[in-house]
Amino acid sequence: MLSDFESADEIALWEAAAASTAIVAEGVASGDGALEITFDPGLRWRACSIQWRNTPVDWSGYDAFVVDVFNPSDQPLSTGIATTDRPSSRPLVSTRMRSSSR
């Protein structure tokens, strides 16, 4: 597991742009914590990016990349995930999703 957001030390391994982050108990998929992302309300678009500072060079020890997303709002939220193994490189995998409300 890369991260399950159980401590301030874990959250410090992530860098967020155009958003703030916190550990919360709502929407937890495993353990006791979840990462809450709050979009910058001053921006025209609700968009942000988060990067993990400890990206593995060798991914062969992993079998899957799984992300659990919880949307507490009654409004649907479009999300996307792009993965890369180096800073400033093109995404290796890019996915767009549309969540439903609760």
pLDDT at 94: 47
3-state secondary structure of 50: strand
- Residue given tokens 């479009």 in the structure block: 78
Question: Is residue 1 included in any domain, yes or no?
Answer: no
pLDDT at 88: 58
**Could you tell me the residue range of the domain that residue 69 belongs to?**
8-98
Question: Is residue 42 included in any domain, yes or no?
Answer: yes
Nearest to 52 by CA among 99, 5, 96: 5
Domain count, the chain: 1
How does pLDDT run along the chain (102 residues), one tens digit per residue?
778 888 888 888 888 888 888 888 888 888 888 888 888 877 777 677 787 777 777 778 888 878 888 888 888 877 777 776 666 555 554 445 455 544
pLDDT at 6: 85
Under 8 Å between Cβ of 39 and 47: yes
Return d(Cα 29, Cα 91) in angstroms, integer. 26
pLDDT at 102: 47
Please name the helix (run of DSSP H) or strand (run of DSSP E) that holds residue 36, with its range, or none.
strand 34-39
